[in-house]
Amino acid sequence: MVDILLQRRIVIAITGGIAAYKCAELVRRLKDRGAEVRVVMTASACEFITPLTMQALSGEPVHTHLLDPRAEQGMGHIELARWAELVLVVPATAHTMARLAHGWADDLLGSLWLATTAIRAVAPAMNQQMWKAPAVQRNYANLLQDGVRVWGPTEGQQACGDVGPGRMMEPMDLVEQVAAHFQPKDMHGLHVLLTAGPTQEKLDPVRYLSNYSSGLMGYCVAKAFQERGAHVTLVSGPVSLPPPQGVTMVSVVSAAEMLEATLSRLNGIDVFVGSAAVADYRPRELAQHKIKKTEAELTLKLEKTEDILARVAEQPNKPFVVGFAAETQHVHAYALDKMKRKKLDMIACNDVSQPGIGFAAQHNAMHIFWKNGDCALPKAPKMDIARQLVGLIMKQWKGPSA
């Protein structure tokens, strides 16, 4: 599969903040994905990281001056403005955000910012109290009003010792934001419902039955649909992941709650993706008090939980139904049997016994089956797998001629 960032023309504009050191990693990762990267640096940025470093990583001369004798007619900012598909300012300090919000054009970055018709984005980075300051929030609002993408900031430990909002997004997260920007927005009007994460089936007031699912794969699929313009509702079991931006979240705990939340939202849904690792069984009786360790053995009576996938697939005017099969043996055979029994339109299966993929891992590998067809997705980051899976879902939902 061709990477969405291949030959994309990206200007990385570095300004004077301690987070400037992260830009080396950002440029390297963008280049790894096949992007063409040109670097602009302000005078203060050169105090934190050298132009020579950025030139070596980007493979292109670094631009630092407004009037560049190497450029045609000395107007390097105009050439860069015309060349770029995306201009990303990192780190966007409070000072830089103020200049950009008010249209200052007395240096290379300011002039490039006003001269380009490319998509413009900033990744804020500053002290947490500075980020909260009314003046900074006004400039933030002005940038949003001008159509600028604002990626971050995140929360956490800062160089000054404070903790709070103001950290620049990590380089790999910014690469994902850039990739999302270049995804085709071809799913407007499509309504997608997904389930993700584990369920927890209560045993007593302090214990439950569950599994190792982190929910990451389902969250990535939700994000991949949202990137392409779909309206996405995500019904999630208990996870520690932040909600995907732009996705409608519904939090549940048990399989029964997930079934109710799913069926009540099926009206008008075009595609349903059941990626949740729903518990197969739950305790027949819920103990009213904590079960004490008084016996050498404990016998639990379990009963089957609701089959959410099958219930969705049997609905009149059902959506296009995609199931998941996490197996430890006979993966393809079990997946095909599950697809047939539950009358699914497509199933994505993987071997969760393999190290480095599946539950709690950052990577995955899948085999996708549908009527009269299949496709293997080799090991890759889960977000990449999700984008490939969404492409396959859309091709089958629209028909082989799509």
Ranked by mean pLDDT, which of 154-168, 190-204, 352-366 comes out on top?
Answer: 190-204
Structure confidence by residue, pLDDT tens digits, 226-255 = 989 899 999 999 999 888 888 999 999 999
Structure confidence by residue, pLDDT tens digits, 181-217 = 888 788 888 999 999 999 999 999 999 999 989 999 9
SS3 category, 25: helix
Report CA-CA distances (Å) from 165 to 77, 130, 205, 339. Answer: 32, 10, 36, 45
SS3 category, 164: strand
pTM for the full model? Answer: 0.71
- Topology of domain 191-398 in CATH is Rossmann fold (3.40.50)
Any idea which residue has 């493979």 for tokens? 59
Topology alike, domains 9-182 and 191-398: yes
Angle at 203 between CA 324 and CA 219, to 5 degrees: 30
Residue 308: pLDDT band by 50, 70, 90 thresholds? very high
- Topology of domain 9-182 in CATH is Rossmann fold (3.40.50)
Bridging pattern class, strands 363-370 and 346-351? antiparallel
Task: For residue 293, give the amino acid letter.
Answer: K
Please report how many Cα atoms fall inside a 13 Å half-sphere around the Cα of residue 85, on the Cβ side. 13
Per annotation, catalytic residue among 23, 160, 220, 375: 160
Are the CB atoms for 39 and 50 separated by under 8 Å? no
Q: Any idea how long the chain is?
A: 402
Sketch the domain layout of the chain as residue ranges: 9-182, 191-398
Is residue 160 flagged as an active site residue?
Answer: yes
Please, is 134 exposed, middle or buried when counting C-beta atoms within 10 Å of its C-beta (0-12, 13-18, 19+)?
Answer: exposed
SS3 category, 41: strand
Structure confidence by residue, pLDDT tens digits, 15-72 = 999 999 999 999 999 999 999 999 999 999 999 999 999 999 999 999 988 766 665 5
Structure confidence by residue, pLDDT tens digits, 120-134 = 999 999 988 899 999
> Beta-carbon neighbour count of residue 289 at 10 Å?
8
SS3 category, 7: coil
Mean pLDDT of 323-341: 91
User: Which has more confidence, 354 or 26?
Assistant: 26
Q: What are phi and psi of 185, to 5 degrees?
A: -95, 70
Closest CA to 310 of 344, 268, 286, 284: 344
Using the CB atoms, write b or e for 201-217: b if 16+ within 10 Å: bebeeeebbbbebbbbb
Mean pLDDT of 161-178: 86
- Spell out the SS3 assignment of 295-352: CCCCCCCEEECCCHHHHHHCCCCCCEEEEEEEECCCHHHHHHHHHHHCCCCEEEEEEC
- For residues 274 and 262, what is the distance between their CA atoms, to the nearest angstrom? 10
pLDDT at res. 95: 95
